[in-house]
Amino acid sequence: MTPSLATPPSSQRIALRGDLLDFTSMPEWGAVDSKAVRFRPDHWLLIDAGCIVAAQPGDQVPDDSWAKHDHRGRLILPGFIDSHVHSPQLDVIASYGTELLDWLNTYTFPAERRYADPAQAQDGATRFLDALLAHGTTSAVVFPTVHKVSVDALFAAAQARGMRLVAGKVLMDRNAPDGLRDDVDHAARDCVDLIDRWHGKGRLAYAVTVRFAPTSTPDQLAMAGRLCSAYPGVYMQTHLAENRDEVRWVHELFPDARSYLDVYDRAGLLNTRSVFAHGIWLDDDDRKALRDARAQVAHSPSSNLFLGSGLFDWKAAEAAGVAVSMATDVGGGTSLSMLRTLGDAYKVQAMAGQRLTAWKALHASTLGAAAALGLASEIGSLTAGCAADVCVWDWAVGPVAQRRMDVARGLHERVFAWMTLADERNLVAAFVAGARRYERDAR
Ligand code: GUN
Ligand code: ZN
């Protein structure tokens, strides 16, 4: 598919040379040798009018019609996809001493109130998207705030950068402070306006954004469900079963629901375009319902560790056939780096005696996330026809990582050590639809 782009892509023909790494299918759990991995060492990646058109071995040098960027000895991956992150929460990242519900009241809600101001919303949106790009993330599913201006600012900034972005106005009509609550009718009007203005414009898509069950009345949840059926192309994003006190609260607020997930299901919010952040405290029936709906869980290990929320059982999700994507959940998460997040994901699984391969982790933050969003023909891989959302990485920064690379034997060993030791300092350049949007050494 040729992506339609609001910002014209680079008209230049570009050829990037390096070690190309991506996936052609989902790697199996625990397999360090996997046919799903496509590693093409020393290849040229050819990009024309913002799209990937071909790849060819390094010794087949493209002709002079191609602007050549020689990154020999570097790694080239599809841009990362962060499936759950909060744009206004750069202001509260790394806040001390609380679990989820206190953290929201103490830090997060006060910070989000500032986004009622259009100037703050605009500043925050550009800072956030530029930071994503500087961490190697070219697409994201984002929570701005309850304020319509925060959504406009975020979509406008994403459009200016040509980014594939999913976002929507946060819905909250109870259990939130003054300045952060809406009401059902007003919120519905805002959502319809925003869908008309942004959904399907270039690379932007709207998500009906329920913050979480405790901050929406049953009437508001039902309204959100009606929006999902009235606009079948929109996404739905929310939080699910993150923290034990939160889960208890949901049972008190919705005593008739079988489970936390059932609250959303009854409201018509469980479908193939639903992105549920966390999903730690689920049972087998919940996992089956997620699988049957082909919904996804946005696993957020950094946030889960930082807020003491719990350890996500990825193996159980996998066994049940639930799609799992990777997310930073900044500001609960402590970094926008998907690589740091994948390192945390490995450690979370290790606590449960499980081993997360580099393939599984990298797939879930590229092609796996794209497939779960129904966007695999556009993002998440280095396949001809996809948008050229591509990042160039150093294999090693500094002597410790360099030594580790020097002694690594097989491909998995090397890539796993890279995934674990690398971070945003390894990022050399980020391209969005073939336009260079981040360059480390630019001064
Ligand atoms: N649950 C409801 N709101 C939030 C939020 O902003 N961050 C996280 N991690 N969980 C939530
Ligand atoms: Zn979140």
Rounded to the nearest angstrom, the distance between the alpha carbon of 331 and the centre of ligand 2 is: 8
Q: How confident is the model at residue 6 (pLDDT cuts 50, 70, 90)?
A: very low
Cα–Cα distances (Å) from 295 to 192, 237, 242, 287, 291, in that order, read 23, 10, 17, 10, 6
- Cα–Cα dist 207/199, whole Å: 9
Q: Provide the CA 99 distance to its chain's centre, in angstroms.
A: 23
Q: Which atom of ligand 1 is nearest to the CA of 307?
A: 9
Specify the ligand 1 atom closest to the Cα of 239.
Answer: 1
Which numbered ligand comes closest to the C-alpha of 333? 1
Q: Which residue has the tokens 């993150």?
A: 242
Residue 159, amino acid: Q
Task: Please tell me the least confidently modeled range out of 10-19, 43-52, 205-214, 349-358.
Answer: 10-19
Residue 198 belongs to what H/E stretch? helix 184-198
What are the backbone dihedrals phi and psi of residue 9, each rounded to the nearest 5 degrees, phi first? -70, 170
Q: What is the mean pLDDT of residues 175-179?
A: 97
Give Cβ neighbours of residue 251 (< 8 Å, ≥ 6 apart). 257, 260
Share of the chain above pLDDT 90, in %: 96
The residue among 313, 304, 327 whose CA lies nearest residue 283 is: 313
Predicted local distance difference test score (pLDDT) of residue 11? 61
Q: What is the model's pLDDT at position 10?
A: 55
Cβ atoms of 165 and 203 within 8 Å: the answer is yes
Choose the residue to mutate in 107, 145, 239, 246 for probing ligand 1, maximizing ligand atoms within 8 Å of C-beta: 239
Residue 5: the pLDDT is 43
- Whole-angstrom Cα distance, residue 422 to residue 418? 5
pLDDT at 441: 86
> What mean pLDDT is predicted for residues 137-165?
98
Task: Tokens for 333, please give them.
Answer: 């998460």
The yes-or-no verdict on residue 4 having pLDDT over 70 is no
- Would you state the pLDDT for residue 443? 53
Pick one of 2.60.120.10, 3.40.50.1820, 2.30.40.10, 3.40.720.10 as the CATH number of 13-79+382-439. 2.30.40.10
Atom 3 in ligand 1: which residue has the minimum CA distance?
211
Q: Where in the chain is the domain with CATH 2.30.40.10?
A: 13-79+382-439
* Predicted pLDDT at 152: 98
Averaged pLDDT, 176-190: 97
State the pairing for strand pair 37-48/51-57: antiparallel
Q: Residues near 126 by Cβ (< 8 Å), separated by ≥ 6?
A: 157
Two structure tokens written together for 68: 């050549």
In this structure, the chain runs to a length of 443
Model confidence at 191: pLDDT above 60: yes
Q: What is the mean pLDDT of residues 46-60?
A: 98
Q: Please give the distance, rounded to the nearest whole angstrom, from the Cα atom of residue 351 to the centre of ligand 2.
A: 22
Please check the confidence at residue 380 and state whether its pLDDT lies above 70. yes
Residues that place a CB less than 5 A from ion ligand 2: 277, 329
What contacts 121, CB < 8 A, 6 or more positions away? 115, 144, 145, 147, 149, 150, 152, 153, 154
Strand order in the sheet with 390-394: 51-57, 37-48, 13-23, 67-78, 390-394, 427-432, 435-439
Nearest alpha carbon to residue 396 among 387, 405, 384: 405
List the structure tokens of 57: 């071995």
CB hemisphere CA count around 105 (13 angstroms): 7
Cα separation values, 20 from 43, 75, 278, 414, Å: 7, 6, 31, 14
Centre of ligand 1 to C-alpha 299, Å, is 13
Which atom belonging to ligand 1 lies closest to the Cα atom of 331?
Answer: 7
Atom of ligand 1 nearest to the CA of 89: 6
80-336: CATH number: 3.20.20.140
The residue whose CA has the least distance to atom 11 of ligand 1 is 239
Helices 118-134, 148-161: inter-axial angle, 10-degree rounding = 40
Residue 223 carries which DSSP code? H
Residues with CB under 6 A from ligand 1: 86, 100, 104, 108, 211-212, 239, 242, 303, 329, 332
Per-residue pLDDT, 442:
78
| pLDDT single digits (tens) 383-418 | 999 999 999 999 999 999 999 999 999 999 999 999
Average pLDDT, the chain: 96
| Cα 298 to middle of ligand 2, angstroms | 9
The number of the ligand 1 atom at minimal distance from the alpha carbon of 214 is 2
Residue intervals in the chain for CATH 3.20.20.140: 80-336
Separation CA 443–CA 425 (nearest Å): 15
Q: Can you give the pLDDT at residue 232? A: 86
Query: Percent helix, strand and coil across the chain, each rounded to 5?
Result: 40, 25, 35
